Each structure stands twice: as structure tokens, then as C-alpha cells.
Structure 1
Amino acid sequence: MKKSSKLLILFLLTFSVGLIAQEPLKIACVGNSITYGAGVVNREKNAYPAQLQEMLGDNYEVKNFGVSGRTLLNKGNHPYTETEAYQEALNFIPDIVFMKLGTNDSKLGNRVYLDDFEKDYQNLIQSFKNKNDKIRIVLLLPVPAFTKDTAKIWNPVIKNKIIPLTQSVAFNSNVEVIDLYHLFVDKKDLLPDGIHPSGLGQTIIAKRLYGVIHQEQKKSINFFEDKNVTIEKSENFYGYSLLNFKIDSTQCNIVVPKKVAKGHPWVLRARFWGHEPQTDIALLERGFHIAYCDVSSLYGSKLALKRWNYFYKLMTSAGLSKKVVLEGMSRGGLIIYNWAAKNPKKIAAIYADAPVLDGKSWPGGMGQGKLSKGDWGRFKKVYKLKNERKLERFKDNPIHKVKKIVKGGYPMLHIVGDADVVVPILENTTPFEKGVKRLGGQIEVIHKPNIGHHPHSLQNPTPIVDFIMKATNQ
């Protein structure tokens, strides 16, 4: 036999053995009727587990273990753990489990047992870990319900009880959690009966889970090793670990994702910490760190910039990206843009929400904006505006620094309410936007018709998240 023929046979044998040895990654979808695909046309192909299988291909084996009407609660009217599907899911010995339970636990007869919710969920998680100690477990928050019968599945219970309990389980059990609630909160039309997503709704879930599976993971960061910073406490931030610490007497926070994204991206958030957190939660899911350094009563002044300079140095020296995403709501607009004007090469993107860009508009109330006497007094004090002459010459607002800001070359996104009378867009975002565009900068403004200064953000944060993900090359 010729040498070339022997080599060919050896290659084919090695390749065949490799194919036989490579088993697909096993994914179990555990849940209720939404996982099962109730109400979906041709559910065998269109329920989200089936769609996920189609997206992932032959290197994965996805199985649907959803059962209609089932509760997470063991004392509920129809516990999931009493089903054959549960035993089949355990015997499947999956590598990944997506758990989507809790909707039926919001029914009136089940609510009385919600004190057992965390314990029962932790036991369910442990039962899968007992089968595979390397298993990846992902909890899926329930989608919203648009029903009207308060005795049955009821959205206020889902939102205010089931979801916080599920996030607490994720924190205490150190497992992942994915927010499906806010993905559907503005998509009532995709839940025809008010509870079950249509085929297109199931596609949204499948796509989100596909992203979870393919998310890159980088090494976690030990932030304060040799940094002479002491963590005061660690607490639950919607299922994630929030580290509280102080720099001198300044309150600081860092929230750590379960899986760190490539490049170690992060968000430095200004006012108001924890308010309308849906964007931050969505970014945590995708591997971002969320950070905070309190400069709330400094209105973007030199002292505020000095604090942020030190904080930025601390975070980046620990391993976070040299380019940070800045997020500022309301008065937070002053610090994010004043800091950006001084640090143009350190910015990946800016998300500003109803931002103050001219202190004379707010808190000064010198135009159409609303006067805030206490804030205006503090504003003038930190900027040393002791008389009218200094006030007339004052040019330390973001609205005066558009040229410096544009030089950074980073994209900007503003979310504004068109009916905002506290921080009017005609005195803040509108002239700022025109100046940025005139100088060739990148800015997008999303207008909310008939909305005032509140509520901030978007109920479904997808446009904000997509903007930040694109800006940070995720």
C-alpha cells in the first residue's frame, strides 16, 4: 500500500472517531405552559425550545420539559416536581438548564405559599446539580401577564413578588438569571391571551437564549486586591452581587456580572443609583460591570471630576476596560458630559436620560426650566458664582462644551420626554443635539411623546442595550 493511501486511511479513521466521540451539549428547558408552547401553532416546531434547537444546530440537543399549569411551589395546586417531565429532565443529565417557572404561582390559591418559594426553587436547582456538578443553570424571569382576573395569573404578583423572589434565588444560589419580563412589557400584542407568547414571541425568547449560550466568558476580576479598599458589604442587586465601599467618605458601588464579557466592559452611572434599573440589569446579563461613585450634589464641578478621575483609575487598574460607558439621568447629565469633555479618549459611549445640560435651565430656572432653590444655591456654591457678573460669564455647562465633547468621536444616545417641564429639551437636549450634528458628531435622540421628566428610561430597554453593545463591540 502506498504511503499516501495509508495516511488518508489514518486521517479518515481519526476523523470518524472524533465525530463519534463528540457528543452534543445537552440543554433542558424546564417550565410551564409557556415553555411547553401552549397556544402556539405547530408547537413542536415553534415553541422556544424547538426554535432554539434549530438556531443552535447539531452540536446541541435541546429538549422541552415544559408542562402546562405547573407551579414552582411544592404546595402549589400543580407542582412541577410531581410531573414525569421533571424526572425525565433529571435523567437527561443536561449540561445547561433553563428554568422558566413562577407564572402559575401568582394565582390566588398559590400566593399563600410564597414564603416557600425561595426554598423550593433552591431545592429544584440542587436536584439538577446532584446529577451534574458542572451544570450551568439559568433562571428565566416570567413574562408579564396582561390578564384582568385578579384571582388567577396576576401581573402585580409576578412583578412585585415572583420576580424579586427569583432574583433572590439567583443571588443566593449563584446562578444566572435572564430578564424576559422587560422584553415583553411593551409587547402585549405578542401574548394573544394575555399570558402565552405567540410563535413570534417564542422566537424572541429563543433568540435571547441563543445569545446566552454563545456569550463569551472572561476571567473575573478581583477588584480590590492590593488596592487598600475595604468592602463594607455585599448585597443582592436584582440577582447580582453588589459590592459597597467608600473612597474617603464617598459612597461607591460595583455590581459584578455572573459571566464577564470580552474586553471587560463597564458602565459608570451617575444619578440616580438603582432608579429604573432595567438597562443595567440587561447589561449585567451580557457581562458588563455597573459602577457608581457618588457626586450627586456636585453638579459636574471640578470636585466631581476629581472624584471620578480617581474612581476611573481604580476601576481600570483592577482590569476593567480603558473605555467606559457613561450613564446619566437628569442632573447626571452635568457630570457625564463635563467628565467626557476632559477625558475624550476614555469614553466608549454615553447614554443620557432627560439630561441637564445647562445649569441655568435647571436648577436655575432662568429660562423655561423649573427652579430648584436648594439645588441652585448648591450649584452656585460649588462653581463659586458669587455675583451676577460671574453668573453671566459662566461657561462650565455641557451645553458650552459641545466642540470638546464631539472630539471624542464616541456615540451618544439621549432618551427624552417631549413634555418635560423640569428639564425642557428645548434648553438642553435640542440645542446640544444640533451642535453635535453641526460638528459631525454621533448622536441619536429617542423622543417619548406626552411624557414629562419621569419616568426615565424605556420600559423595554432593548434600544438602549443594543446601542451600548454596538458601541463596545459586543
Structure 2
Amino acid sequence: MRIACIGNSITYGSGLANRAQESYPAQLQTLLGSSYEVLNFGVSGATMLKKGNKPYWNTPEYQKALLSNPHLVFIKLGTNDSKVVNRPMMGDFEQDYRDMIRSFIELPSHPRVVLLLPVKAFSDEKFGISGTYLKASMIPMIQKLAYDEKLAVLDLYSLFADKEELLADKIHPNVVGAGFIARRLYDFIKLQAKPVPGGNGLIDEAEKSNFYGYNCFSFDFKGHKAKIVVPKAVAKGMPWIWRARFWGHEPQTDIALLERGFYVVYCDVAELFGNAEAIGVWNDFYAQLRKMGFAKKAVLEGMSRGGVYAYNWAAANPTKVACVYVDNPVLDLKSWPGGKGIGPGSKKEWGIFLKDYGYTTEEQAEGFAGSPIDKIKDIVKGKYPMLHVCGDMDELVPMSENTLPFAEKIKQAGGDIRIIHKPEGKHHPHSLPNPQAIVDFILKAR
């Protein structure tokens, strides 16, 4: 199987002591072994733009890549297109990229083409490359192309979001960084996945949109807004992650799992604070997903108050949960929105909570015991692992009233829980810039 790596200096291996062995295509060759032939067609400074300051189109490497008749093509261009000198031609970027995709797809070997998002640049000046422009403009354009052309796209940007130390000049990965790219491509190649089932059982009236390069189907489910995002190829068992709240916020974990063949689903039960009605709607939504072939056990994801939704459903359905990932989660509704401890709470949301649970007075609510922290015995019945990502200085949902006492009770009950601390972290931003630790947890749990 021949693999063509199309790219710029990062693909070429600029700055490496021995690029023939240390570039990411070379390291990918070592990982894959002799059944594969990995070809490095990187050109330092190359642009995707045909009228850029150094078009890849005009290089001998491009012609050699076409003549190699590959079975798989990784395209990693766009970094140099971010230079100020190339901005006037940026209106041509998408069409130029489409033309390159076509030039490979139409080869006799009809290769699979995969788009690689640029590695994060930690500078707006080095070599004229703008990290800010890369994130704001180049990456959305490449994700849109992946959506339009129905191609797989791999997020190398987030992979390096916390790895500035691996880019000595703030642009080019060192040998370790090149190894991270090689490993990501290797995992993608070796992923056991199959084509998305025809039709997917989705509601005919569903509205289709672009979710960072993937098909997102939005529809009404029994009066509630629902969404299903479909991967380009489905991993074995049709795994899925169920976002509890705040659709699309800090989506890096969802995107990373889509790359790995997971579905991403959502059913909006805001603002019911995990009460019986919310659980009932989710039970029906779960049953619908099972009819569509989704895995029996869901990966639950909850940010902030989403932690209540995730854990309350998990407590009611312990055998249907693969794992729980929550982020600065609300685990005691008296802490938030109640504001009965050191946190500020929310008077407005507390009023909604009282209505949701049928309380007419504050005194009645004093005996409330329907938060996740009150359901430890039911939660640990599932024997699923739990991961909490928390800002130690969360000013809205204090750890001392939520994750810390919850985790202690879980451990005492024999549960499996892990906390990733963000020492200076507040309530926002959620998640991690590089979600790899979260993704590894989920992949191991399922």
C-alpha cells in the first residue's frame, strides 16, 4: 500500500538532524512496516494557492506524487498560505484545494484522500506565518472542504495545542513532535472502521449542516431539539458520545472522537436539571438510538450543569454507560444554582429548579436529595470509570462543594474516578486545548 504525504516543511522534515529517518512520513514508515510504502513529497515553504509565493503545484514533488499512483494521500498544506503576502489570493484557496483533491482522486489508483489540519503555530511572525490567521481562517476553510468533499480530516492543530516545547522555532516540530504526527496517522490507518450505514435511520425531515467537517443532522424528538453527528467511517460496535448540555461548546473532544469513528449525539432537555421528566425523555432517545444500531453503552459528556444531566441519567441506567467524562461539573444543585455554600449560585436558575422539582417554598427544597452527590450507590452500580476535568479555582461551581466531596464518596463506595486538575483554572474555559488525555480515557473505557 503506497501512501503519499503531501505537505510543506513540516512534512519535509525541516530542522530535524536526520529527516530521512525522523520526519513524520519516515517515522510512519517505521510504524507501519514493510507492507506499506510511505513516500515523503514535502516541499519547504510550499503553498496550496496556485498564485501563492511558492505554489506546491509548480514543484517536481507534486508531479512525482501523481506518478506514484498512491492508495492513500495525506494533504498537509495551508500553513504557508497564512502569510500576509498570500492573503490577496485567499479567495482562490478553496478552489485550488478542491483541484488538488481531484487531481489525486482521479488517478488510476483512485486513492483515499485525507486532509490534515495545520499544526498549531505559536507565533504570528516567524517565517511570516500567522498562528492567529491559521486558526481563524485556514482551519475553518479546510474543515468546510472536508465536509463538502466528504473526506476524512485529522486535527493536528489540537494535537499540538499544549506542546509548544516540541516546536523549537514555534513552527516546526522536533523529532518527538514528528513522532506524534506519525502515531496519529498510524492510528487512523489501523482504525477498524466501516462505511456509515445507509440512511442511518435518521428522520427524513432532519436538517443537515456542517459540524467541523462532519454531517450534523438536526431534528425534533418529542418536542426537544436533537442532533446526531456522523463520522466519516464508523468504528466497530457503533460507539457514541452523548453530550448533555451546551452543544458545540469547546468541541475538541467530540471532534477527536468523530475522527475515531464515534457518533456524537445530543438531546436538549434544558432546563430540567436532571429531573424525572429529563430522564424520561433521555430514556426514549436512548431507545431510538439503540433501534438505529448504536452501541448499548453510551459515553456520557457533561460540562458544568451538564454533569447533573449525565450523572442522574447514569444513576437511573447504570448498565447503559461505558464511562462518564464531565468538566467543572455541577454535582450538588444546592451549591449551584442554589448558592447555599461558598459559590454565588444563580437566583434565576434556582427559581427554575424549584419549579422543575415541584417546590413552592425554599423550606421544601432544603430536603432535596436528587443531585448526583446524593446518588452515589446508584452511580457505582454501573462499575464504569469516571473522569472529571476541573479548574481548581472554579468560582461558579466550587470543587470543594462538588467534585471533591463527590469523588471521595465514589472512592469510599468502590467506584473508579480520576480527576485532571487545572491548577489556575476557573469555570471557563472548559475542556483541554489538546483533548488527548480525555480521548485516551474514553477509548480505554469503551
Decide which of 358, 364, 367 is 1:393's aligned counterpart.
367
The runs of at least 4 consecutive aligned structure 1 residues that moved more than 6 Å come to none
Q: Which one of the candidate residues 111, 125, 138 is aligned to 1:135?
A: 111
In the alignment, structure 1 residue 208 sits paired with structure 2 residue 184: yes
Question: Which of 408, 414, 419 is residue 393 of structure 2 equivalent to?
Answer: 419
**Distance in structure 2 (CA, Å) of the matches to 1:49 and 1:219:** 26
**Counterpart of 1:293?**
267
Deviation at 1:113, TM superposition (A): 1.7
State which of 304, 319, 329 in structure 2 corresponds to 1:330: 304
- Distance across 2 between alignment mates of 1:135 and 1:377: 58
Give the whole-Å Cα distance in 1 for the aligned partners of 2:183 and 2:195. 25
The superposition leaves residues 262-283 of structure 1 with CA deviations (integer Å, 9 ceiling, x where unpaired) of 1110011011110001100000
The corresponding residue for 2:228 is 254
Q: Show the counterpart of 1:405.
A: 379
Q: Deviations over 1:163-190 (max 9, x none)?
A: 0000000000011100001111111111
Change (3 A) 1:72 1:211: same
**Distance in 2 between the 1:223 and 1:393 partners?**
48
Q: In structure 2, what is the Cα distance between the partners aligned to 1:147 and 1:321?
A: 43
2:68 paired residue number: 92
- Assess if the C-alpha contact under 8 Å between 2:311 and 2:379 holds in 1: yes
Q: 2:251 aligns with which of 252, 277, 292?
A: 277
Q: What aligned pairs does 1:442-461 form with structure 2 within 5 A after superposition? A: 442-461=416-435
In 2, are the aligned partners of 1:418 and 1:447 still within 8 Å (CA)?
yes
CA deviation after TM superposition for structure 1 residue 318, in Å: 0.1
Q: Secondary structure at the match of 1:246?
A: strand
The match for 2:318 is 344
1:189 to 147, 165, 174: 165
Spell out, residue by residue over 1:14-68, the C-alpha distance to the aligned partner (whole angstroms, 9 max, x if none).
xxxxxxxxxxx00000000100000011101110111111111111011000001
Unaligned ranges ≥5, structure 2? none
Q: Report deviation, 1:396.
A: 0.7
- 1:163-242 aligned at under 5 Å gives the runs 163-222=139-198, 225=201, 229-242=203-216
**1:46-104 residue CA offsets vs partner (Å, 9 max, x unmatched):** 10111111111111011000001000111111111111100110110100001000000
Question: Which structure's CA Rg is the greater one?
Answer: 1
Residues in 2 aligned to 1:133 and 1:382: alpha-carbon distance in whole angstroms: 60
Q: Which residue does the alignment assign to 2:137?
A: 161
CA–CA separation in structure 2 for the residues paired with 1:332 and 1:340: 12
How many residue pairs get matched? 446
Contact 2:336 2:397 in 1 (8 A): yes
Percent identical among aligned pairs is 54
Tell me if structure 2 keeps the 8 A contact 1:230–1:245: no
| 1:11 corresponding residue in structure 2 | none
1:144 equivalent to 2:120? Answer yes
What amino acid sits opposite 1:326 in the alignment?
A: L
Shift of 1:388: 3.4
CA contact (8 A) 1:192 1:198 kept: yes
CA offset at residue 224 of structure 1? 5.6
Looking at structure 1, the residues matched to 366 and 80 of structure 2 have their Cα atoms a distance apart, in angstroms, of 62
The 3 A distance-change label for structure 1 pair 195 and 150 is closer
Give distance in 2, aligned partners of 1:150 and 1:192. Answer: 11
- Using structure 2 for the length normalisation, give the TM-score: 0.98
**Cα distance in structure 2, aligned partners of 1:346 and 1:419:** 33
Confirm or deny that 1:355 pairs with 2:329.
yes
Letter in 1 for 2:375: K
Verify the 8 A CA contact 1:216 1:261 in the aligned structure 2: yes
Aligned to 1:379, what secondary structure does the other structure show? helix
2:351 aligned with 1:377, yes or no?
Answer: yes
Q: Over residues 277-303 of structure 1, what are the superposed CA-to-partner deviations in whole Å (9 max), with x where a residue is unaligned?
A: 110000000000000000121110111
Paired residues of 1:269 and 1:328 also in contact (CA < 8 A): yes
Contact 1:95 1:132 in 2 (8 A): no
Identify the residue that residue 13 of structure 1 maps to in structure 2: none
User: Shift of the alpha carbon at 1:118?
Assistant: 1.1
Superposed, 1:115-134 pairs within 5 Å as 115-132=91-108, 134=110
C-alpha distance 403-52 of structure 1, shift in aligned 2 (>3 A): same
| Distance in 2 of aligned mates of 1:132 and 1:347 | 46
What is the Cα deviation at residue 248 of structure 1? 2.9
The secondary structure found in structure 2 opposite 1:470 is helix
Deviation at 1:370, TM superposition (A): 1.8
Code of the residue aligned with 2:292 in structure 1: it is A
Measure, in 2, the Cα distance between the counterparts of 1:320 and 1:377.
37
Alpha-carbon contact 1:349-1:471 (below 8 Å) kept? yes
